[in-house]
Amino acid sequence: MSRRVWLPLGAVVLVVNAVQWVVAEAISAAAWTDPPYSYATNYISDLGVPDCGTQFQGREICSPAHQLMNTSFMLEGILFATGVLLLAGLVKGRARRVVVALAVAHGVGMVLVGLFHGSGDGASTGLAIHVAGAAVGILCANTLAIMAGSLRSLGLPPAYRVFSITVGTLGLLSEALVGMSESTAGMFERGGVYSWLLWSVGTGALLLVSRRSSPAMVENALA
């Protein structure tokens, strides 16, 4: 596949991926009315639990649009991995192999998140797989963002490099604070997830704009 094809395609896939997640999450949260869904206290995974009326860790769960959210989880893993793999040609040597491994691991992790819901009412193995998949997905995506900002060989603007390292680092720190308080668990979890979604949009937009306004910069990065 020509570089003129896979570069913009990868950029578009990353942007579409972030948009589909945010839209699916907003629709799923709006469909959850009794009790009202809280972005601050409810985990994102609660939106994918199929059993209405179940209690888990003190939260009453009822997500009528759980199928939509679980589909979005899996689609995110597939699209994010696809977008990163398409752009992996920008990276050379051992770093490329690391990028590919992180992208694939993230994709597999998020597909597992969609297949196994995060509820205590299901099989304990299912919950364990869900948690493990989410942990791998969050860790790998934020690490990729940090890597993208750390690789000087890409020749990308300093502002982008600072952006990538910052959002990836804040994402990991936010995820580490999830268990600090039940009243803020959902908020900090979103910090660990929205970080890579923001990175996806920022990276995709930068590559698309740079390709149109400064093709030479992109070609240099590809050289």
State the average pLDDT over residues 46-59: 86
What percentage of the chain exceeds 70 in pLDDT?
Answer: 91
Task: Read off the pLDDT band of 53 (50, 70, 90).
Answer: confident
pLDDT digits (tens, 9 = 90+) for 171-190: 999 999 998 888 888 999 99
What are the residue boundaries of the structural domains of the chain, listed by start? 3-215
Give the distance from CA 25 to its chain's centroid: 13
Cα distances (angstroms) measured from residue 23 to each of 27, 30, 58, 176, 198? 6, 11, 27, 26, 14
Exposure string over 8-22, b if 16+ CB within 10 A, otherwise e:
bebbebbbbbbeebe
pLDDT tens digit string along 61-111?
Answer: 899 999 999 999 999 999 999 999 999 988 888 999 999 999 999 999 999
Residue 221 has pLDDT above 50, yes or no: no
The length of the chain, given as a count of residues: 223
Give 216 or 198, the one with higher predicted confidence.
Answer: 198
Quick one: average pLDDT of 42-70? 90
The pLDDT score that the predictor gives to residue 212 is 62
Q: What is the pLDDT of residue 122?
A: 61
Q: Are 112 and 124 in contact (CB under 8 A)?
A: no
Mean pLDDT of 50-57: 83
- The helix or strand, by DSSP H or E, that contains position 24, with its residue range, turns out to be helix 3-31
